[in-house]
Structure formats: structure tokens, C-alpha cells
Amino acid sequence: MNVPEFVKAKSQGRKLSVLTAYDCLWAALLDEAGVDALLVGDSLGMVFQGHSSTLPVTLEQMIYHGEIVARSVRNAMVIVDLPFMTFQVSSRQAVRNAGRILKETGAAAVKLEGGVHQARTIERLTACDLPVMAHIGMQPQSVRKLGKMSAVQRNEKQLLADAIAAERAGAFGIVLELMSSEVAARITETISIPTIGIGAGPHCDGQVLVTPDMFGMTGFKPKFVKQFGELRSQIIQTTRSYIAEVQSEVFPTSDHSHQ
């Protein structure tokens, strides 16, 4: 998968599957399963580092995780988030940091939050041949302004304007987060680039979920997350079995020992 193929999927009517990844083990497994794209999201600040928001994540951390993921896949396209305050100061700052990400990780593209207000930055990035995906609706990096991560965005006029601005600026795709399915459908019908929904209903051109949420590992269960697995309890129970066997001297046996 590459950027042109990703874009072409919309005209072909093929739905795109996207999941997050932050390390080599999960990246390789999800890639082998056939996911179209892996997003090295700044969500790692919450699900990997244990922060309450994405704001503490640094550029160096995104590059570190992005390089690991990109090196671990064979087919999936890898997209890396531009974290908080690495693109908001100026388009020059954004170009420098996006360039570092692509050069040092081997990823295919970057993602940034914003529509109308980031249109000039998106335009500058694409002018430098740096593929960029936009992200509108609920923007996690704006959590201080929004008050909470679950703030559903309802201003249809603004959301549509953001999507159109991002496309005109050169974005190859756009994440739609936490908005009504009706608004997401209208945006998807209006623009020619793929829309990737998260809490935006079934009418987008593809979907993205945070992988640990999808596997039921985090305990995070908002309405828009379908848990396709329940690994949390399995991991806990398996670990307890290991502890019990170690304590009772059932493990290891001679079968697990070098002779």
C-alpha cells in the first residue's frame, strides 16, 4: 500500500482498514493480517506511556516508534502523527519536522490535526512532496480547549469547511473523529479524498481504531469502539497461571530445562 493506492481505493469503492501500532510485535501481526495502513498515533501517550492526553508526546518519541513500526511491516502503509506543538508554530516548522519523520522512520506519510486553520501548513508540506493526512472533528491535541476527549463535534458548516480546505490544500486523506454519521456522510460525498472515520459512522471510506481498545486491553469502552477481542482477561488469567505454577514449583519441569 502506498499513497496513490490509498487514494484510489475510494474511486474503487473499497473500504480502507487502519489501526494504530507502536512496536514491532503488533506492527508485524497487524500487517500479516492484511490491514491497509498502520497509524503510529500520538495516542501512544495514553495507551503506551500512561498519560491522560496526547500532549506530552515528543517528536523524538514519534520518530522512535515510527521507525520501529515502519521497519516491521511488509505491506501496510505507515503514517506517523505530528505531535502537539511540532507544526502549529509555522509551516516552516512543520516542514522541518515532517521531513525528519519521513527521513528517519521510513514511513509513507504524516498526519496532523486541523482543517481550515492548518490549510497553509498542509499546502506547504505537499509542495515539498511530504504526503499529509488531515484530522478534523474531535482533535485530541485540543483537549484543553474542548474540556474532554469525548467532545462530539456538531458544527456541520465548520466540519465541512475543514474537510474542503484540507483537500484543496493537498491532503491525500482525512480522519473524521466524533461527529454524526450524517455529517460524515456529507463530507465523504463532497470530497474526493478518502475519509477515515473514528466515531463517525459507517459512511466513511474507511475506519481506524486504537488497537489496544479494539482488543479489549485498555478497559476503554466508548460507544464507537467495537471490541473485536477480549485479550485483557486472557492476559491476566494466563499471567496468573504462570505465577501459580512458579510458586507451586510446577514450572519449570525437566522438559523446560537444558540437560
Rounded distance between C-alpha atoms, residue 96 and residue 10, angstroms = 30
Q: Is the dihedral of CA 145, 130, 196, 213 positive or negative?
A: negative
What count of Cα atoms within 13 Å lies in the side-chain half-sphere of residue 79? 30
Rounded distance between C-alpha atoms, residue 187 and residue 164, angstroms = 8
Residue 126, amino acid: T
Measured in whole angstroms, the distance separating CA 54 from the mean position of its chain's CA atoms is 12
- What would you report as the CA-atom Rg of the chain, rounded to the nearest whole angstrom? 20
Q: Decide: helix, strand or coil at residue 20.
A: strand
Whether the ω angle into residue 252 lies within 30 degrees of 0, i.e. cis, is yes
The catalytic residue positions are 177
Q: Decide: helix, strand or coil at residue 140.
A: helix
Q: Decide: helix, strand or coil at residue 133.
A: strand
C-beta atoms surrounding 117 within 10 Å: 11
Rounded distance between C-alpha atoms, residue 190 and residue 184, angstroms = 10
Q: Select from 8, 1, 3 the least CA-distant residue to 111.
A: 3
